[in-house]
Structure 1
Amino acid sequence: MSFQPVLPLGGLAGWGFLKRTIDRQQALQQATPVQQRDEAYFRDRIGKVDTAEQLVSDKRLLRIALTAFGLEGDVNSKAFIQKVLEGGTIREGSLANKLANKQYEKLSAAFGFGNFSVPRTKLSTFPAEIIAQFRVRSFETAVGTQNNSFRLALNAERELPALAARPISDKAKWYSILGNAPLREVVQTAFGLPKSFASIDLDQQVTVLQGRAQSAFGSANISQFADPEKLDSLMRRFMLRADMQAQGAGSSSQAIALALLRR
């Protein structure tokens, strides 16, 4: 039987409960036979993998690897994943570098099939590195089967501080959010923007998001979300807005989009 997290409440109250109990719940998941068997299988087999083709040919290994990067939905797209892995990330025109979802780039870089003559699967520390990410992501997946808003928030809590710390321009960070569907949904919802917001000009989307961030937090910069208090405040806004949306509250998306375009 697969692990089922305890989520007795939704909304902000449920989010608070999850945060208070997350360490204990993650420990319970890691102790399940299913999780332990997957981890043992990965530890035993991954060091014997020399090529991307070998990895995608082992569906269990591939599932664990993809889950570690939030890409488990691609487990049946073997040819595509093989191409992502073989292309590496060093060449500017590689497939992983072209894709909007930067998780593919992280996946390709982590395994190193296209970057090095000897892949990173041969490193003694590699199994622990991927399993640590697998634990986090598989827990989020289990949470998402009951409450997708909680899964989105857990992902954002991990990804936003990492993005905030990247040595790129703040505008590039905003573009990274817009190119990452889960982060986009969190930020867009937290700032009260409708789904139709994604249809307006990309530069205008960045301008609007910067304006909303400035108004809500006193700064338009993504770097501010390295501050745990500001990150928590953003998550609370997301939870409140997501709960309102679930209850059908608020203005129509068309009216909000028009208001934005007129600003």
Structure 2
Amino acid sequence: MSFQPIIPGSGLAGWSFLQSTLARQIEAFEDSAPVQRATDYFVENIGAVSSASDLVQDRRLLEVALGAFGLGEDINNKYFIEKVLSEGTIAEDALANKLTDSRYKEMAQAFAFDTLSPTGQTSFAQEIIEKYERRSFEVAVGEQNETFRLGLNLERELPEIASSRDANDTKWLRILGNPALRAVFETAFGLPSQFGQVDLDQQLGVFKENAERRFGTDEISDFGSPDRLEELTQLYFLQDQIKASSGLDAGSIALTLLQSAGQTQL
């Protein structure tokens, strides 16, 4: 896309500017010609789609559908996406239910091709477009500053998880299954990206332990409050700057990984 967000700096200063101008920048992004063309086409044509096959055969529709769930890089993986969508989520052994990345399940649930799909409803098109516009703006921000993209994603997605009726461990698992949210927490807690190779139960324990130590709570519902969300965001930016300036070597990363994993066995 040709739209370029205005980001005059990095770190907390740049983040503060982005936050203060966010509403105006998002509006300008949504009014840009490429976005208007994409969303208008989606509104005009999604109603005729009744199957996963219909969707993947129309690249312009598929771009919006995937973009709405942050899966734009899968645009050429048509067979995989068709399988995810056609199997849906009702069957326990459906592909979307087996994938670690929760975004595929969210997309399959939204399109519901395994049951009565809502694609013919006007409200459905609008819901997908709203997701597409917001996520696409975040992608545009990420092209200039990936840290800011993850910060915007955190502000959008974490309150939704926090307010859900899921059990606390389920909420944590949703975070662990979301690459962008997971990256924020890993950075905020000073964990290496290789930490994802550790047993899932150990990962859960370490994440909860770090949350308790740094914020005085491991309840994800508490992170739905603006103040706690801001605390997490600031810690993320601080740790990201420290990480960028220190440049941990492979030995340090391995040591951190072993220490973090070992803590859960105490």
Please indicate the TM-score interval, normalised by the length of the shorter structure: over 0.9
* Aligned match for 2:132, one of 129, 134, 154: 134
Other-structure match for 1:42: 42
CA distance in 2, matches of 1:113, 1:194: 38
Other-structure match for 2:212: 214
Other-structure match for 1:85: 85
Q: The residue matched to 1:120 in structure 2 has which SS? A: coil
**Does the CA contact (< 8 Å) of 1:109 and 1:115 recur in 2?**
no
Equivalent pairs counted in the alignment come to: 261
Report deviation, 1:195. 2.3
- Which string of whole-angstrom CA distances, capped at 9 and with x for unpartnered residues, describes residues 123-150 of structure 1? 1212111111111011001001111111
**Does the CA contact (< 8 Å) of 1:140 and 1:151 recur in 2?**
yes
CA distance in 2, matches of 1:196, 1:121: 39
Output aligned runs, 1:44-123, within 5 Å.
44-116=44-116, 119-123=117-121
Moved more, 200-209 or 56-65: 200-209
Other-structure match for 1:192: 190
Q: CA distance change for structure 1 residues 225 and 157 in 2, over 3 Å: closer, same or farther?
A: same
Other-structure match for 1:247: 245
- Which string of whole-angstrom CA distances, capped at 9 and with x for unpartnered residues, describes residues 205-248 of structure 1? 22121111111111111111111110111011101111222223
Q: The residue matched to 1:247 in structure 2 has which SS? A: helix
Stretches of structure 1 that go unaligned for 5 or more consecutive residues are none
Q: The residue matched to 1:9 in structure 2 has which SS? A: coil
Q: TM-score, normalised by structure 1?
A: 0.94
- Which string of whole-angstrom CA distances, capped at 9 and with x for unpartnered residues, describes residues 14-44 of structure 1? 1111111110100111111111111111111
Amino acid at match of 1:97: N
Amino acid at match of 1:196: Q
CA distance in 1, matches of 2:149, 2:255: 29
Report deviation, 1:202. 2.1
Residue identity (%): 45
Amino acid at match of 2:150: L
Report deviation, 1:168. 2.1
- Which string of whole-angstrom CA distances, capped at 9 and with x for unpartnered residues, describes residues 80-110 of structure 1? 1111111112222111122111111111121
**Does the CA contact (< 8 Å) of 2:50 and 2:119 recur in 1?**
yes
Moved more, 7-16 or 66-75: 7-16
Stretches of structure 2 that go unaligned for 5 or more consecutive residues are none
Other-structure match for 2:154: 156
Q: TM-score, normalised by structure 2?
A: 0.93
Q: The residue matched to 2:115 in structure 1 has which SS? A: coil
Matched, 1:178 2:176: yes
CA distance in 2, matches of 1:198, 1:105: 20
RMSD value over aligned CA atoms?
1.6
